[in-house]
Structure 1
Amino acid sequence: MSLSAERPFTLVHPNGERVCGLIHETHTDPVGVFLPGFASNMEGAKSRLLACNAQAQGWSWVRFDPRGVGRSDGLFQALTLSRYLADLQLILQMLENRPVLLVGSSLGGWLGTIAATRWPKQIRALLLIAPAYNFIQEIFRNLPADEQQAWQDTNLRCWGDPYGLGELHMRFDLVADSWRYDFLRFPPYLRCPVEILHGSADKDVPLALSYQFAARAHAPELAIRPLPGVNHRLQGADTVLLRSLQSLWTRIS
C-alpha cells in the first residue's frame, strides 16, 4: 500500500532543534502514535506496517523521528529518555488533547509507559512491543568497574550495534537519566488498558522482564501476550500485532 496519504510535519523545540514526522490525518479520534526503539526511526518495518494499516482503517496516525535519528535534528549520542519524552510532548501538543493510542517498540515501549504516567488524560491505551525496561542500567551494570568509571569520567562510550548500524557513541547522561524511570524499583500507575506483545525467542529483551514489570505495576487492565518462537523484532507476528492494535482501538474509539 502507498503511504502517499501522509503529510510531513516539523515541530521546533525552544533551542531550535527540529522534530520531523509524518501524519495521516482523518480528523477523527483517537490518534495513533508510534514510538520507535533505540537507534530506530520512522522508516522501520513496524513503523511502515502500522502506518499502512492506519490508512487502510481510516485512522489518524503519526510517526516521527526522535532527535538524533532520521530526518530530525540533534546528535544521537545526546539521547536520553527525558529528551525522547520531550520530543513526544511536542507531538502530543500538536494533537491538542485528542485521545492517543501509543504503540511503543523496545525503548519506545519504555518511553510509552513513562508517557502514560505523565499524561494519563490524553494517552488512552498502550500497545507495547517487547518493552525494554531498565536495559540502559543493565548495560552499565554489566560493564567491568574500570569501564563504568571511564564512561562516567569521559561522558562518552563507543560500542558496535548488533543490528548493523555501525559504531554508536553514547554519553553517560543516558545512564544517569535512566535511573529516574526505573519501573522495576518504582512501579508506575497506569490507568489505561495496556497490552504487551513479547516473543519467547527474544534474546535482546527477555520475556521474563515483561512479567517482572507486570507483577510490580499498578495497572488493572494490563495483559501480556507471549509469542512462541518470536524474536525481539517481532518478525512473523504482524497479524498478531495488528489484531491487538484493532482490539485496543475499538475499546477507546
Structure 2
Amino acid sequence: MSPSAERPFTLVHPGGERIAGLMHETHTDPVGLFLPGFAAHMEGSKSQRLARYAQTQGWSWVRFDPRGVGRSDGLFEALTLSRYLADLQLILQMLGKRPVLLVGSSMGGWLGTIAAARWPERIRALLLIAPAYNFIQEIFQRLPVDEQRAWRDNNLRCWEDTYGLGTLRMRFDLVTDSWNHDLLRFPPCLHGPVEILHGSADEAVPLSSSYQFAARAHAPQLAIRPLPGINHRLQGADTVLLRSLHALWTHIS
C-alpha cells in the first residue's frame, strides 16, 4: 500500500482523549469500517489486509485504534464495551450520513452487532469474523469464586494473554458493563444483511456460539458460513473473507 493511500486522522472526545485512525477516502459511498478484536489495533494483519483490498477496489475505508490501544490516548485497563462504542460513535459522526459496511473481528464482531442494532440507519451491512459474544462474562464465570471476589473487590485483574500480548490489566468495570450488552439474553434486531464467518477449529470462540446467536437474533438476512479447519484468526481463509466482503459491498452500493 502506498504511503499516500491512507491519511491519518485524529478525533477528540469531549473529555480531551484522542483517538487515532487511518482513512482511504474516495468520496464515494459506502464507507468500510473495521473493528479489531480484544486488545488488537489497526496495524494488525487482518486490518491491513482489508485496507489494502479496499484500496485496490477504489473503496473508502476506515480503521482506527480505540482508546487505550495503539496510537490512541487512554489506558487499556479502562476498556469497556460502552467506551469502545463511544469511540465508534465518534467515527460515525465524522462520516456524516454516509452508509457504512462494518467488519468486526472477535470482540469487534460483538461491538459491531451492538452498533448495527443501535444505529441501523448508518450501518447497512455486517461482516462478522468469529464474533465473541459474551466472552467477558464467560471468562469471569469460569474463574474460581475467590478470584471472582478478588477482581470485584480490587477492581483490577492481571493475566497473561494467550496470543503473546503480555500481561493485561483489566478493571472490573469491563465485567459489569458487559452484562448490559448481553446479546444472547437481549437479542438484537438487525435490519441489513449479516454474514458470519467462523472456523470449525476456532480455539477461542466455538462455532456453536454463532449458531446460538443466530437462533436468537431478529435478523432476516443473516447467514453463517462455517469454515472447516480454520482457527480464530481466520488464517488460510483470506479468499473467503474478501469474497464475502465484496458480495456485501455490491449488495449495498
Structure 2 residue aligned with 1:89: 89
Residue type at the aligned position of 1:208: S
Shift of 1:197: 0.2
Q: CA deviation digits over 1:55-110, x for unaligned, max 9?
A: 00000000000000100000000000000000000000000010000000000000
Shift of 1:3: 5.1
Stretches of structure 2 that go unaligned for 5 or more consecutive residues are none
Tell me if 1:196 matches 2:207. Answer: no
Structure 1 residue aligned with 2:134: 134
Residues 133 and 209 in structure 1, CA contact (< 8 A), matched pair in contact too: yes
Structure 2 residue aligned with 1:124: 124
Structure 1 residue aligned with 2:251: 251
Distance 1:63 1:107 in 2: 15
Structure 2 residue aligned with 1:154: 154
SS in 1 for 2:125: strand
Distance 1:72 1:36 in 2: 14
Instruction: Give the total of aligned pairs.
Output: 253
Structure 2 residue aligned with 1:48: 48
Stretches of structure 1 that go unaligned for 5 or more consecutive residues are none
Distance 2:48 2:149 in 1: 40
Residues 3 and 52 in structure 1, CA contact (< 8 A), matched pair in contact too: no
TM-score (normalizing by structure 2)? 0.99
Residue type at the aligned position of 1:238: D
Structure 2 residue aligned with 1:69: 69
Distance 2:81 2:4 in 1: 31
Structure 2 residue aligned with 1:223: 223
Identity of aligned residues (%): 81
Structure 2 residue aligned with 1:7: 7
SS in 1 for 2:87: helix
Residue type at the aligned position of 1:202: D
Shift of 1:4: 3.2
Residue type at the aligned position of 1:126: L
Residue type at the aligned position of 1:69: V
Structure 1 stretches of 4+ moved >2 Å: 1-4
Structure 1 residue aligned with 2:242: 242
SS in 2 for 1:33: strand
Structure 2 residue aligned with 1:181: 181
Q: CA deviation digits over 1:174-222, x for unaligned, max 9?
A: 0000001111111110001000000000010000000000000000000
1:97-108 matched pairs, under 5 angstroms: 97-108=97-108
Distance 2:230 2:4 in 1: 31
Residue type at the aligned position of 1:174: L
Distance 1:171 1:211 in 2: 30
Shift of 1:137: 0.1
Residues 81 and 177 in structure 1, CA contact (< 8 A), matched pair in contact too: yes
Residues 2 and 52 in structure 1, CA contact (< 8 A), matched pair in contact too: no
Shift of 1:2: 3.1
SS in 2 for 1:41: coil
